[in-house]
A and B are shown apart, each in its own frame.
Chain A
Amino acid sequence: SQQGEEDPQALSIQEGENATMNCSYKTSINNLQWYRQNSGRGLVHLILIRSNEREKHSGRLRVTLDTSKKSSSLLITASRAADTASYFCATASPYNFNKFYFGSGTKLNVKP
C-alpha cells in the first residue's frame, strides 16, 4: 500500500505557537499534498509540492519534502484557533496521476 503514516496523531498547542506535522509514505510519488478537514466534513486543499521540489511556502504554511527519506512535514506558523482541524497528507502515484492515497491524519487543536 502506498498509504502513509502521519505523526503525531494528535497535537494540542496554544494560539500563536507553531505546529509541525509529519508524513511518511512508501513508494515513488509524483507529488505530495496537504489537506485540511474541519469537523469531519469535506477536505480542503492547502498546498502541493512536486517530487522535484524540497520546500514550498504559502502564507503561514511551509511544506518540506525529502524524497530520499520518503517524508514530508507541514509547518503552520503563528497558529490560530481557526486552524483547529485534522490535517492529511496525500500522495499521487507517478503511474496514475488520478489515484491519491491519504495518510492517517493529524488532529490539531489550537487553544485560544
Chain B
Amino acid sequence: QKEVEQNSGPLSVPEGAIASLNCTYSDRGSQSFFWYRQYSGKSPELIMFIYSNGDKEDGRFTAQLNKASQYVSLLIRDSQPSDSATYLCAVKGSGYSTLTFGKGTMLLVSP
C-alpha cells in the first residue's frame, strides 16, 4: 500500500523566517511529487510539483526531492501570515494516474 507521511504539526514560525515542510513516501517507483496548500474549509490549491532529484524554485517556494531517501520537502522563504495553512504532500506512482496524499502539515506564521 502506498503511503505518504507528514508531520501533522503545527509548525510555528515567525514572520520572515524560513518554513521547512517535510514528506516521506513508501513507493520507490513514485515519479511525480506535488505540494498543495489548503486553507481551512477550502479545497487544495497546487503550489508546485517536482519530478527530478534536486531543487526546484518558484518565487518564495523551493521544492526539494531526494528519491534515494524517498523524501521531498518544501521550503517557504520570508514566511508571511497569509502562508498559514495546511500543506499537503501528494505523490503519483509510476503507472498510476491518481495522487496519494499525506495528512498534511499545519503551518502557523505569527506576525
Q: Do A and B bind each other?
A: no
**Taking beta carbons and an 8 Å cutoff, which residues of B are in contact with A?**
none
**Taking beta carbons and an 8 Å cutoff, which residues of A are in contact with B?**
none
